[in-house]
Amino acid sequence: MPALLNPIPEPDLARYPSCIVCGNARLSELAGTRQMATEARHREQVFRRLVPPETPGYMLKDRAYPTQAYDARLVVCDRCGTLARDPHLSAEGSADRYARDAYHPAWLESTYREFVAAFDARMPELVRWVGPTARVLEIGSFVGGFLASAQKHGWRAEGVDVGQCVSRFARSKGLKVHEGSLEQTRFPDRTFDAVFVWFCFDQLAEPWETLREIYRVLKDDGRLLIRVPNGEFVERVQRLERWTSSDGLHERLRNLLAYSGLAGFPFQVGYTPSSLTGMLEDSGFTSVHVKNRINVRGSSSAALRLVHVGSQILDHATFGAVKWGPWIEASCTKTGHAVAGNELLTCCVA
């Protein structure tokens, strides 16, 4: 069985001297290392209960055993509310860890089928947004589920991913995947009609640089869609957890985080609807729209209902303070003028 806390060599870890989004130096502790470890154990138990007991641990990778399960606390920016795992993976540490991340062949096949089906359901909406004959790029193409579905719906799709195992698997499905980071791939200016980042924006150690590169490779009026875990949701749920004395409510809130994939916060950064919007606008994108997304991978319909209903109850019970669900998607358009750049904030990144 995989270890819950995966040790990471010290040189691969770093600390933010200030918020990666707004540059504010005041970062407060939202959850200590002990709470994060307790949440991670709860997440493992929750997903173990959903599958037959003989299910091997490798089939629960990501859901019960995420890549980012090392010992860390969670901090929140006092100004913009963005969350960050502390310590976080350095750019080199992150690339190295995801490059070597290995998955069992049975897990790859079942996840591929699951993702193709999920994206097949989304494609009509995406084709209406981007257009029927488009050249698109996915950053962090993972097992290739989106690329396969996009091709099936008439797009020329290619991906970039640092992961050797998942890139090899996606290529075995006949998909075009460049192994490495977006910056290393060096696409020509204005290559793509749309860029999608479904799985990895929250893992990027240098997100401002990636946004600048996305801007460069997009055609004028090109579209960008980013999905991330909602840091605001995590913060509000954790504060409610501390406030309540009801064991029943406490258990439901903890399950809400676990089923949403957010327990133990296995991500580097928890953007909020407003901090992500501001970042995209500062990077030269316009018409930014943020939407809720329920993202309950491979769980039962009961778990999906719990997250859906739980999010709505939180909205009402807090008089709208928790109006956003556990995951958010931001869609936006590249403007025709040059990017404003953000040298000061870039320098703040450890």
Closer CB to Zn ion, 272 or 331, in the complex: 272
Q: Which of 176, 166, 189, 212 is closest to 342 using CA atoms?
A: 212
Strand order of the sheet with strand 73-77?
27-31, 73-77, 83-86, 269-270
- Strand-pair partners of 192: 218
Characterize the bridge pairing of strands 13-14 and 176-179: unpaired
Closer CB to Zn ion, 77 or 148, in the complex: 77
Closest distance to Zn ion from the beta carbon of 263 (Å)? 23
- If DSSP codes are grouped into helix, strand and coil, which group holds residue 312? helix
Q: Which of 33, 95, 50, 69 is closest to 255 using CA atoms?
A: 50
Closer CB to Zn ion, 16 or 199, in the complex: 16
Closest distance to Zn ion from the beta carbon of 325 (Å)? 21
Closer CB to Zn ion, 20 or 177, in the complex: 20
Round to whole Å and give the CA distance between 327 and 291: 9
Closest distance to Zn ion from the beta carbon of 87 (Å)? 18
Round to whole Å and give the CA distance between 311 and 319: 12
Closer CB to Zn ion, 80 or 263, in the complex: 80
Round to whole Å and give the CA distance between 195 and 214: 7
Closer CB to Zn ion, 21 or 30, in the complex: 21
Closer CB to Zn ion, 111 or 230, in the complex: 230
Characterize the bridge pairing of strands 192-197 and 135-139: parallel
Round to whole Å and give the CA distance between 285 and 215: 8
Closest distance to Zn ion from the beta carbon of 116 (Å)? 37
Closer CB to Zn ion, 27 or 306, in the complex: 27
Residue ranges that bind Zn ion, judged by CB under 5 A: 19, 21-22, 24, 77, 79-80, 82
Closest distance to Zn ion from the beta carbon of 335 (Å)? 24
Closest distance to Zn ion from the beta carbon of 340 (Å)? 18
Closer CB to Zn ion, 271 or 285, in the complex: 271
- If DSSP codes are grouped into helix, strand and coil, which group holds residue 96? helix
Closest distance to Zn ion from the beta carbon of 73 (Å)? 17
Pair of tokens at residue 99 = 């490059």
- If DSSP codes are grouped into helix, strand and coil, which group holds residue 245? coil
Closest distance to Zn ion from the beta carbon of 278 (Å)? 9
What b/e sequence results for 177-196 when a residue is b if at least 16 CB atoms lie within 10 Å of its CB, and e otherwise? bbbebbeebebeeeebbbbb
Taking residue 245's Cβ as centre, other Cβ atoms within 10 Å add up to: 6
Round to whole Å and give the CA distance between 258 and 63: 9
Round to whole Å and give the CA distance between 34 and 71: 9
Closest distance to Zn ion from the beta carbon of 249 (Å)? 30
